[in-house]
Amino acid sequence: MNKVITSFSEAVSDIQDGSTLIVGGFGLSGIPEKTIQALRDQGTKNLTVYSNNCGVDDWGLGLLLANNQIKKMVSSYVGENKIFEQQYLNNDLEVELTPQGTLAERLRAGGAGIPGFYTATGVGTLIAEDKETKEFNGKTYLLEEGIVGDFALVKAWKADTLGNLVYRKTARNFNPLAAMAGKITIAEVEELVEPGELNPDEIHTPGVFVQKILVGTNYQKRIERRKVIKA
């Protein structure tokens, strides 16, 4: 099955108001920037977004925030976005902070068809409020639920037309987990090849998890925060 879509606007056309999105990336590394821009242009509202962070004011998921398209954000780190802070303080944005490892495992579990799991992370903190606990070998654990989104937006380096994906270095980050956890996964890539051209041992996301593939060009690949050490 050829899963290649030629238009980013067509790729996001099925994303309706109130949808739940899972978005890959870490900081600004490996974010599906072209798909996010297309969704911004479409103007879809009241989105619930699961992602490690929410970009910066003028890039990544920050574009959707600035356009008042996100209703709820579930993430691990939100410190680089002033718009995020202001919307939260104004009660315009619902925020659920989740420990980074827990978020990753919730995505992995959802993609694997596991409805919940127990973790020690967050026990005795605000994270544990209203959550079921259970003891194993004398230690207390929290029950966390797996995450399944209506759509997953991911960025990969290479793909074949069957949807098999290869990520490049640290841009791999949350993308494989996000790709698994979406009912419909949209993958934007920099290079597209024919089936059989990818080494099976190098495939990070099998094509069974991917429904739509697009090729993007002229990626900005911004650095979220640059630090220089004196020689």
What is this structure's pTM? 0.94
Asked whether residue 186 is assigned to any structural domain, the reply reads yes
Question: Per-residue pLDDT tens for 130-162?
Answer: 999 999 999 999 999 999 999 999 999 999 999
125 in any annotated domain: no
Structure tokens at 19: 């949808």
> Which tens digit of pLDDT belongs to each residue from 184-204?
999 999 999 999 999 999 999
Does a structural domain hold residue 33? Answer: yes
224: three-class secondary structure by DSSP: coil
What's residue 146's pLDDT?
98
d(CA 204, CA 202): 6
Is 171 a member of any domain?
Answer: yes
| Residue closest to 188 by CA, chosen among 53, 62, 33, 43 | 33
Report d(CA 213, CA 205) in Å as an integer.
13
* CATH number of the domain bearing residue 41: 3.40.1080.10
User: Is the pLDDT assigned to residue 19 strictly greater than 80?
Assistant: yes
Residue 43 lies in a domain: yes
Give SS3 for 37.
helix
Asked, for residue 1, whether it belongs to a domain, the answer is no
Is the residue at 143 inside a domain? no
The residue range of the domain holding 50 is 8-115+148-215
Q: How many domains does the chain have?
A: 1
Residue 226 domain-assigned (yes or no): no
